[in-house]
A and B are shown apart, each in its own frame.
Chain A
Amino acid sequence: MRVSAAVLVAALTVVATGCGHSSSPKQQTILVVVDAPFSRSPYIGNTIANGARLAADQLTARGLSVGGAPSKVRILKLDNALSPSRAVADMRRALRDHAAAVLTDGTGVDATWHLADKEHVPICIAYQGGTELVNPETRPNVFRIAPTDHGLAFRLAEYLVPKRLKIALLTDDSDYGQAGRAALGDAFRTVSKAVAARIALPSSASDLAPQVLEARRSGATALLVWARPAVLAKTIAAARSAGWGVPVYTTPAGEDPVVRQQLADHSSWLDGLTFASGRMTAELGPAPWSAFQAGYEAAFGATQVGVKSQGRRVIAPPDYGMYSYDFVNLLAAAVQRVDGTDPATVLSALNQVSTRGANGDERGFNERNHEGVVDDDVYFARFADMVFKPVEDDPLSSTLPAIDQVR
């Protein structure tokens, strides 16, 4: 009896297998892992992941075909919690799952690139700007689409020095601030007369008045702050509450919603804050960016900053989502170019393809350059009434249109 049952089950299985078989090619999945600090910096993590997901959904909807088979791009989110060892564990999982590429904020790349390189899996950094992270010769599988620290620092120096300001360089004691201190040190090396003071900001301090006072006493006529958003907000608060209307310049940290949230009760203190970042629009005009932003908001909703401007709610443009969006499109272009998913050939093809980016710029890499954002893509924007627009006194910024930030 038992034997007959087993034979019956086996026969049914064979029949079922035969019925399930189809002559049409099976759908392929191109897996892109987003490894970002979702638990520690959710704004950064979600922006990167959403940009990647938007591109994946659009590609799948358009009908991606690889090797004659319909394909789809799938995004897998893994939380590295800003921990390099978590990033290594995430990379191992990505490799086990045969990921086609890994998008990351940059955490742990020093440790993970080698693991990925053995399997010819490309890594794209979409946030951190450390110069040493990307090197096409020694790390052939590491790419970046984000402003570099080097680019930000040199553009800031180039912008500020001609104004004949005496600049106090304030950097916090986080890794971000320490990287900024090194980048600013290089950028201001030949123009050290423009530097009034170099001051370290303790991230954990509740009041930065002593450090701001030290800057004031040094004769500074401008503050250049390279710090985490919360520290930047405290620095501005310390200066303004002391009645010091000194101009403040900073990095992309300035556009982080945290800064505006912390200064919401004193919106005038934020007026005049100028930050450097990767530009969202190109000379072509704002249409490509607007299309991207509309798609992003339709899919995920607008990122509310939590403050108002002239009675209307302020939203944060998804500029870092633009970078991950562009990389997924580049990856898809590479896959289609080789018409397959063999990692080594896809990696090689990434050095040859280019796409139209979310802001209308041409994005692409080559064997000698794995940076997707060149130094000249860094622009400056200035706040007024909780929203920002490109400055008028920088030739590379003044031609850029302002992005609508209220709803």
Chain B
Amino acid sequence: MSAPAAAAVRTGAALREVLETARASWTDSATAGGMVALAAALAPFALGGLIATDTLASGAYLALAATGLGLCVGLAGVPSLAQGAFVGTGAFVAAHVLRHTQMPGELCAVIGAVGAAGLGTAAGFAVRSLDAVRVAVGTWLLSWLVALALGALPWLSGGAQGLVVPTRRLFGFSPTPLVHYELAVILTGLCALALVALRRGPFGLDLAAAAQHRGAAAALGVPMERLRVGAFAASAFVGGLAGGFAVQLDIVADPTAYGPLLSFELLVAVLVGGAAAALGPSAGVVVLGLIALVARAFGGLAGVSGSRFQPMLEALLLLAVLTTGGNAFVPAAIAAARRRFPERRIRPRPSAAPLRTRRELLRAHELAERFGHVRAVDGVSLELTPGSITALVGPNGSGKTTVLRLLAGALPPDHGHITLASHELTAATPAERVRHGVVRTLQTHAYFAELTVLEHALVGIDRTRRHGGAVRALVSTPLFRAESRLAEAQAFAALEAVGLAADAARPASELTGTGRQRLMIAAALATNPAVLLLDEPSAGAAAEDLERLTAILDRLRAEGLAVLLVEHNLRLVRAVADEVLELELGRVVRRERLPRL
């Protein structure tokens, strides 16, 4: 068979597989989404002259920008107030390219989007480690900066008249408002699908985990800051794309149109419609459109412009949504529909793969850590050998957790070094240590409340994936799909090891405290570890929980793992430990090997 023929056969097989996968995973929600998309595409014909097509097209581009913001708010849980600035950046970059080159309109829009993504990357980098409030304030300032820059630099913005842009054909069509509308609907639909694909993939799961518990995510090696920068960049790209096309609809890049108010409105649309739902931001934009009509009516009654009432009504609606528990329209509608019409398709459970672990020796030599004048850890040396459990005991404040944090990379040691097999880990970040096979769990309360049990394990698996990147997830490559099937099987293996496989579909918040602790052990196991660092796994455990925990730890030893157990419960220590190190004032005061039956 010739090379082109072989390639054609492979392509055909891959397409068949894609279709089969789509058919297997098709749900009622997907059907509903498809119907909404079809209705949106037909809206200009159905609404007749009721709403002008250029108004619909502007709204559709706004929906695209809001869906892009959904990447940041819905996936990463980051309340960005800079989306208006990204839309404006895309618009002005595209406008300048359109004015100074003969490039096709669609290419100019993409260049605008790339410009916005550049700004988004810089913004994401600046706020990557800030909490939500500071992110909101920081991005709000960015919105102001962009608006002020456009106001102060007429050569950039075109001054009061804006930058008039030449009209070009779009994908071979005359750029009428109808063509713009359909294009915006298609792009919004694609962006919503991307949102769904990313949410189900490693990128979305990791972001969700990081948004729900930063400490637990960091312990599992989730590269939170990098993901956040990526979410900002992707969000800005979509916003910039909306701006780059919208400016061709408006035929003018308007410096007054991309101020902080636009950013606020986009955030309101996302929060009101539902950040977690793919069509939530679009629904939010429709709600904003209705608010504009109400504001116009108010304005008519008061004898002033409706635009004076619009932001006030939007803010009131946002307050109403937030104060009534944050149940946005689309998620509430989906929940109501699920109650009335339960999802008919139940995903088949994959068969579990063998549990993957590594056998490597961890050595820590003369570790020391000071907090001011206090020597928290003072010359601690230890070896964690494969197939053994080492318990670290001692009174409160003796330095147990600090040793654990030094080994996990959460704290850099003042002195000493750490190696795993031949790898020097002393300066490695927590994420790097997880990749090498050193992973820790936190205490009971550290888990991801909005993820299911299976998703917890998948967050751990993500550290071991080679083909799970955001771009691969977006286009769902054959490698990505194959690896995803394997990842799910391995996640089940990790859950089976801790006795939670039957609870895979349950929300983690429904588990008991010890159940959550076992869940986090499963997530750690899913990272394919060599060394497991467990912080008080028996906290709050009843007698039967202790027995179950003992059995789990025995199994981990049997699998060849090296386990360090920080524990107050001496009964558990005696039941499972091969060696006990007693710490006092940061020093090892006693080492004891326990005989195992």
Known: A81-B305, A84-B252. A110 touches B164 (CB 8 A): yes
**How close is B179's CB to chain A, nearest CB, in angstroms?**
15
Query: Is A175 touching B154 in the complex (CB atoms < 8 A)?
Result: yes
Within the complex, which residue of B160, B257, B307 is in contact with A79, where a contact is CB–CB below 8 Å?
Answer: B307
Q: Does B55 contact A (CB under 8 A)?
A: yes
**How close is A331's CB to chain B, nearest CB, in angstroms?**
24
Known: A39-B307, A93-B52. A85 touches B250 (CB 8 A): yes
Known: A83-B256, A110-B252. A89 touches B55 (CB 8 A): yes
Q: Does B586 contact A (CB under 8 A)?
A: no
Interface of chain A residues 31 through 53 with chain B (CB within 8 A):
38-39, 42
Q: Does A109 contact B (CB under 8 A)?
A: yes
Query: For residue A108, which residues in chain B have a CB less than 8 angstroms away from its CB?
Result: 161-162, 252, 254
Q: Does B104 contact A (CB under 8 A)?
A: no
- When each residue 241-263 of chain B gets 1 if its CB lies under 8 Å from chain A and 0 otherwise, what string results? 00000000011101011000000
Within the complex, which residue of A83, A109, A176 is in contact with B254, where a contact is CB–CB below 8 Å?
Answer: A83
- When each residue 222-251 of chain A gets 1 if its CB lies under 8 Å from chain B and 0 otherwise, what string results? 000000000000000000000000000000
Interface of chain A residues 153 through 181 with chain B (CB within 8 A):
173, 175-176, 178-179
Query: For residue A133, which residues in chain B have a CB less than 8 angstroms away from its CB?
Result: 161
Chain A: CB-nearest residue to B54? A92
Query: Is B251 touching A111 in the complex (CB atoms < 8 A)?
Result: yes
Interface of chain A residues 65 through 95 with chain B (CB within 8 A):
79, 81-86, 88-89, 92-93
Q: Does B304 contact A (CB under 8 A)?
A: yes
Query: Is B161 touching A110 in the complex (CB atoms < 8 A)?
Result: yes
Chain B: CB-nearest residue to A77? B305
Q: Does A274 contact B (CB under 8 A)?
A: no
Q: Does A62 contact B (CB under 8 A)?
A: no
Query: Is A110 touching B162 in the complex (CB atoms < 8 A)?
Result: yes
Known: A92-B52, A110-B252, A111-B251. A39 touches B308 (CB 8 A): yes
Q: Does B58 contact A (CB under 8 A)?
A: yes
**How close is B41's CB to chain A, nearest CB, in angstroms?**
21
Known: A93-B52, A96-B52, A173-B152. A111 touches B162 (CB 8 A): yes
Cα–Cα, bound, A38→B52 (Å) = 22
Interface of chain B residues 514 through 550 with chain A (CB within 8 A):
none
Cα–Cα, bound, A173→B160 (Å) = 12
Query: For residue A38, which residues in chain B have a CB less than 8 angstroms away from its CB?
Result: 305
Interface of chain B residues 191 through 229 with chain A (CB within 8 A):
none
Q: Does A115 contact B (CB under 8 A)?
A: yes
How many of chain A's residues touch chain B, expressed as a range?
20 to 34
Within the complex, which residue of A39, A107, A115 is in contact with B160, where a contact is CB–CB below 8 Å?
Answer: A107
Query: For residue A130, which residues in chain B have a CB less than 8 angstroms away from its CB?
Result: 161
**How close is B262's CB to chain A, nearest CB, in angstroms?**
11
Query: Is B55 touching A39 in the complex (CB atoms < 8 A)?
Result: no
Query: For residue A115, which residues in chain B have a CB less than 8 angstroms away from its CB?
Result: 251
Query: Is A83 touching B257 in the complex (CB atoms < 8 A)?
Result: yes
Query: Is B252 touching A82 in the complex (CB atoms < 8 A)?
Result: no
**How close is A138's CB to chain B, nearest CB, in angstroms?**
13
- When each residue 106-140 of chain A gets 1 if its CB lies under 8 Å from chain B and 0 otherwise, what string results? 01111100110000000000000010010000000
Q: Does B499 contact A (CB under 8 A)?
A: no
Q: Does B159 contact A (CB under 8 A)?
A: yes
**How close is B334's CB to chain A, nearest CB, in angstroms?**
34
Cα–Cα, bound, A88→B251 (Å) = 8
Cα–Cα, bound, A274→B257 (Å) = 36
Query: Is A111 touching B164 in the complex (CB atoms < 8 A)?
Result: yes
Known: A82-B256, A92-B54, A110-B252. A175 touches B160 (CB 8 A): yes
Query: Is A178 touching B308 in the complex (CB atoms < 8 A)?
Result: no
Chain A: CB-nearest residue to B307? A39
Query: For residue A39, which residues in chain B have a CB less than 8 angstroms away from its CB?
Result: 304-305, 307-308
Interface of chain B residues 118 through 175 with chain A (CB within 8 A):
152, 154, 158-162, 164
Chain A: CB-nearest residue to B167? A114
Cα–Cα, bound, A384→B510 (Å) = 79
Interface of chain B residues 469 through 519 with chain A (CB within 8 A):
none
Within the complex, which residue of A84, A88, A109 is in contact with B256, where a contact is CB–CB below 8 Å?
Answer: A84
Among B159, B161, B254, B307, which residue has the most Cβ atoms of chain A within 10 A? B161
Query: Is A84 touching B307 in the complex (CB atoms < 8 A)?
Result: no
Query: Is B256 touching A89 in the complex (CB atoms < 8 A)?
Result: no
Query: Is B251 touching A81 in the complex (CB atoms < 8 A)?
Result: no
Within the complex, which residue of B54, B158, B161 is in contact with A109, where a contact is CB–CB below 8 Å?
Answer: B161
**How close is A128's CB to chain B, nearest CB, in angstroms?**
8
Query: For residue B164, which residues in chain A have a CB less than 8 angstroms away from its CB?
Result: 110-111, 114
Cα–Cα, bound, A130→B162 (Å) = 14
Chain A: CB-nearest residue to B177? A92
**How close is A335's CB to chain B, nearest CB, in angstroms?**
26
**How close is B304's CB to chain A, nearest CB, in angstroms?**
7
Cα–Cα, bound, A404→B52 (Å) = 47
Query: For residue A92, which residues in chain B have a CB less than 8 angstroms away from its CB?
Result: 52, 54, 177
Q: Which residues of B does A touch, CB under 8 Å? A: 52, 54-55, 58, 152, 154, 158-162, 164, 177, 250-252, 254, 256-257, 304-305, 307-308
18 contacts between A and B (CB under 8 A): A81-B305, A82-B160, A82-B256, A83-B256, A84-B161, A85-B162, A86-B254, A86-B257, A89-B55, A93-B52, A96-B52, A108-B162, A110-B158, A110-B162, A111-B164, A175-B154, A178-B154, A179-B159
Given A85-B254, A173-B152; 11 other pairs, CB 8 A cutoff = A39-B304, A39-B305, A85-B257, A88-B251, A88-B252, A109-B161, A110-B161, A110-B164, A111-B252, A175-B154, A176-B160
Q: Which residues of A does B touch, CB under 8 Å? A: 38-39, 42, 79, 81-86, 88-89, 92-93, 96, 107-111, 114-115, 130, 133, 173, 175-176, 178-179
The 10 closest A-B pairs by CB, nearest first: A39-B305, A175-B160, A111-B252, A85-B254, A84-B162, A110-B161, A85-B250, A83-B256, A84-B254, A84-B252
